Amino acid sequence: MPVTQSREILAASRLDNVRYAIRDLACIADEVTQQGHTILPLNIGDPITFDFETPAHLIEAVYRAMKDGRNGYAPSPGIPQALTAIRAEAARKGITSLQDVFVTSGVSETVDICLAALVNPGENILTPCPDYPLYSAVLAKLGIELNAYYLNEEDGWQPDLEDIKRKITPRTRGIVLINPNNPTGSVCNRRILQQIADLARQHKLVIFADEIYDKLILDDDQHISIAAVAPDVPVVTFGGLSKNYLAPGWRIGWGMVSGEAAQVMPYIEGVHRLLRARLCANHPEQYAIQPALEGPQDHLPEVIRKMRARRDLTVAWCNSTPRVSCVAPRGAFYAYPKLDIPEEDGVFVRELVRQKYVLVVHGSGFGQRPGTKHFRIVFLPNEKILGSAYAAIGDFLRERYS
């Protein structure tokens, strides 16, 4: 008779630290929904869930590619016309030392491949705190210990240069810079970029510049790419269609590697080994890259107008509500308010969705300085939805903490 296996099959221990706070709250939200309540979702940065639409000329380009039979495998680095368009985009961003470009299944895969191609066991990568939790999840998956540097809330969430200096060790290989930042909405100024580049140059670090929101600047600031500031420093700049071009479900991202050729070529070959191993990114959707980057940009002014109004409403509510304060975001569509409450922010967000049916994400899911508490708001919904959500959060704060 066959022997029954009774021993549990355990997941790898290196996954113990893999967390994704943005979606980990979905289980609680599902429970609330099953009880018959409607959730006000301020948790996931998906513009298509709200009153935003993918530009029609991009949809037409993908549809035409599918009709033309572009449904098989693509070249591992990406289709030629997409790569040409990405190179032209790098030039527009002022990146003069470009050495390579490649297309990935969203920026998530760009991050995964580019970190895996660089870091060895026992080494580390500097990541911002707070940060987008993908980075800590990928590093945990690779078995790499986290080495987080703080963003300075008192300085508009700019990277804390002194903390970065303290955190660099002989085993540090790179630094992640999310600009504009998720979850804070901050945008790095030129002075900070130059100082980070100086540290990278001094300590021979690779900079991973996540610029997925670079066209979503809410004020009159100019977005500056760190690769343009420091052409001699090895930089991998991340971009994609998800946010700027309102197509997150297509999973199309890309990487641009710049720096001195002799320095970065061995690393680029490592990246391409991993690109070949996973075959290719989505093929038909790659045909939207060239029309996105080189075609009409008519959607952007309206997107920014909506986001600016919703940002202003959000910041005004935060700074007029007891126990809440907020640094005004300057890019993307996130706010990261500080909480003055006697319990953990994880408890706050769980009870908020259970009692008031508003879903936000706890600051501890992104990281924060010890002793501080925050939550992240996605201000993509229209003003009516935001107003209802903020009224409910205000009621919750008064009822729970007065």
Ordered by start, the domain boundaries in the chain are: 13-52+299-401, 56-294
Mean pLDDT computed over 16-32: 74
Phi–psi pair at 97, nearest 5 degrees: -115, 35
d(CA 360, CA 349): 6
Q: Is the pLDDT of residue 57 over 80?
A: yes
Give the model confidence (pLDDT) of 119-152 as tens digits. 999 999 999 999 999 999 999 999 998 899 999 9
Mean of the per-residue pLDDT values for the chain?
A: 95
Angle at 316 between CA 315 and CA 318, to 5 degrees: 60
What pLDDT, on the 0 to 100 scale, is given for residue 30?
Answer: 86
Q: Assign domain 13-52+299-401 one CATH number from 3.90.1150.10, 3.40.50.720, 3.40.640.10, 3.40.50.1440.
A: 3.90.1150.10
Q: Please report, for residues 43, 142, 286, 362, 397, the alpha-carbon distance to residue 23 in angstroms, rounded to integers and kept in the order given.
A: 8, 21, 27, 11, 24
Give the model confidence (pLDDT) of 253-294 as tens digits. 999 999 999 999 999 999 999 999 999 999 999 999 999 999
The 3-state secondary structure of 312-329, one letter per residue = HHHHHHHHHCCCEECCCC
56-294, CATH topology level: Aspartate Aminotransferase; domain 2 (3.40.640)
d(CA 192, CA 181): 14
Q: Is the pLDDT of residue 321 over 70?
A: yes
Alpha carbon 280 to chain centroid, angstroms: 22
| Closest alpha carbon to 275 in 106, 82, 115, 76 | 76
What pLDDT, on the 0 to 100 scale, is given for residue 402?
Answer: 85
| Closest alpha carbon to 98 in 247, 252, 265 | 265
| Closest alpha carbon to 374 in 364, 387, 384 | 364
Q: Is the pLDDT of residue 174 over 80?
A: yes
Residue with tokens 């075959």: 279
d(CA 236, CA 206): 8
What pLDDT, on the 0 to 100 scale, is given for residue 235?
Answer: 98
d(CA 227, CA 312): 31
| Closest alpha carbon to 367 in 112, 123, 17, 110 | 17
Under 8 Å between Cβ of 230 and 205: no
Higher pLDDT, 297 or 220: 297
